[in-house]
């Protein structure tokens, strides 16, 4: 069995001075949860940051990233992954001292060697398995979101305990904290989003939608079938696994699922998934993404634009206008 932790030594985190860098999805949740758990937190934001007023309004102490790093002995890096290296090089590195701890919520920059901290600091990951607004809301409701903890470098000999203590501060030990490695977290996270959760899913939706529309069916029917209903199916799978979903659908649907599904996602698809995983493991994907960012993201922006221009988006926007309750659920 894997190591899953439910409690931790809170004394460790309450003895530290924490800097949370960034106040986006994860940043606001970590900073507020830690503060309410009694930790000593300051948020490091650039003077021109749009988030400054909301962080201050929430009662947090907001300083510059430089000052936050100077004051703190535990730095949690919650700026976007593609800007972490520049922030590390320009602000963090020169302000790290003996015994400090450098924390991340995703392993990308450490695992691929873009950030190489000195040997005298702890390097730890605490990665909630939920979007930031849920990390915050669940904590406020008295619960917590599960998280991963991993140690890349244990200078103090207490890095794991410190990570668990931080996880307790954001509420995650209430739900369970799974021990992993930077490598496993980074590679499975990238694979999941590329092959299944985001890439695999959106390509599946579009292929199904296009097949129906090209065969002469109404775009609106194709939208409801191939996109809208997905939510209902996913909810069932989430609640009770694939069996729970198959129990709820009709026998006709279940027979079609069992006999046709494997014709859509074939051995060939799985072989391609394996190649995608190879590119993640070899660092090919990471290099490609770093270079794309250095070049100003031309390919990324073009693909983004093309995606937004697909007819399924305008058809969907029109249909969703008749379902105003949907928009209210969209969080940050």
Q: What are the residue numbers of the active site? A: 106
Closest residue to ligand NAD using C-beta atoms:
24
Nearer to Mg ion, 176 or 208 (CB): 176
Nearer to Mg ion, 217 or 238 (CB): 238
| CA-wise closest residue to 88 among 57, 61, 65 | 65
Separation of alpha carbons 319 and 313, rounded Å: 10
Nearer to ligand NAD, 79 or 227 (CB): 79
CA distances from 32 to 2, 48, 289 (A): 30, 21, 31
Cβ at position 280, least distance to ligand NAD in Å: 15
Residue in 73, 185, 187, 189 binding Mg ion, rule: CB under 5 A: 189
Nearer to ligand NAD, 25 or 226 (CB): 25
Residues 132-171, one symbol each (x = binds Mg ion by CB under 5 A, - = not), give: ----------------------------------------
Closest residue to Mg ion using C-beta atoms:
189
Pick what 46 binds: ligand NAD, Mg ion, none; C-beta below 5 to 8 Å, kind-dependent: ligand NAD
Select from 16-24, 35-43, 110-118, 206-214 the region that touches ligand NAD (CB under 6 A).
16-24
Of 96-115, binders to ligand NAD (CB under 6 A) are: 105-106
**What angle, 0 to 180 degrees and rounded to 10, lies between the N-to-C axes of helices 267-282 and 284-294?**
70
Binding of ligand NAD by 23 (CB under 6 A)? yes
Binding of ligand NAD by 87 (CB under 6 A)? yes
Select from 40-48, 154-162, 181-189, 284-292 the region that touches Mg ion (CB under 5 A).
181-189
Plot region of 204 (φ>0 → left; ψ -120 to 50 → alpha; else → beta): alpha
Tokens 């490695």, residue located: 181
Pick what 79 binds: Mg ion, ligand NAD, none; C-beta below 5 to 8 Å, kind-dependent: ligand NAD
Residues 58-77, one symbol each (x = binds ligand NAD by CB under 6 A, - = not), give: -------x------------
Specify whether the CB–CB gap between 112 and 190 falls below 8 A. no
Nearer to ligand NAD, 74 or 105 (CB): 105
Residues 228-257, one symbol each (x = binds Mg ion by CB under 5 A, - = not), give: ------------------------------
Binding of ligand NAD by 45 (CB under 6 A)? yes
- Name the site residues for ligand NAD (rule: CB under 6 A): 21-27, 45-46, 49, 51, 65, 78-81, 83, 87, 105-106, 127-128, 131-132
């Amino acid at each position: 069995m894997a190591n899953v932790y439910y409690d931790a030594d809170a004394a460790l985190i309450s003895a530290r001075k924490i800097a949370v860098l960034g106040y986006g999805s994860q940043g606001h949740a970590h900073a507020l949860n830690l503060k309410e758990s009694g930790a000593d937190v300051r948020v490091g934001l650039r003077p021109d940051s749009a988030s400054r007023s909301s962080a201050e309004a929430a009662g947090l102490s907001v300083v510059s990233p430089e000052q936050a790093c100077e004051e703190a002995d535990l730095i949690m890096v919650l700026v976007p992954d593609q800007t972490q290296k520049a922030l590390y090089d320009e602000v963090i590195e020169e302000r790290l001292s003996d015994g400090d701890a450098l924390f991340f919520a995703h392993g990308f920059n450490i695992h691929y060697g873009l950030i190489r901290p000195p040997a005298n600091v702890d390097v730890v990951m605490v990665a909630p398995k939920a979007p930031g607004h849920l990390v915050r809301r669940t904590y406020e409701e008295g619960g917590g979101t599960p998280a991963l903890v991993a140690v890349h470098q244990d200078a103090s000999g207490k890095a794991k305990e410190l990570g668990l203590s931080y996880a307790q501060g954001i509420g995650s030990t209430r739900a369970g904290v799974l021990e992993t490695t930077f490598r496993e977290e980074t590679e499975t996270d990238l694979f999941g989003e590329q092959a299944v959760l985001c890439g695999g899913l959106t390509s599946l939706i579009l292929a199904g939608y296009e097949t129906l529309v090209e065969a002469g069916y109404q775009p609106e029917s194709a939208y409801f079938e191939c996109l809208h209903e997905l939510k209902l199916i996913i909810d069932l799978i989430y609640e009770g696994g694939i069996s729970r979903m198959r129990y709820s659908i009709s026998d006709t649907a279940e027979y079609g699922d069992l006999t046709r599904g494997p014709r859509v996602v074939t051995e060939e698809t799985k072989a391609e998934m394996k190649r995608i995983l190879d590119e993640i493991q070899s660092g090919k994907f990471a290099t490609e993404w770093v270079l794309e960012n250095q070049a100003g993201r031309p390919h990324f922006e073009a693909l983004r634009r093309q995606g937004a221009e697909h007819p399924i988006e305008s058809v969907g926007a029109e249909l969703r206008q008749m379902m105003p309750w949907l928009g209210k659920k969209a969080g940050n």
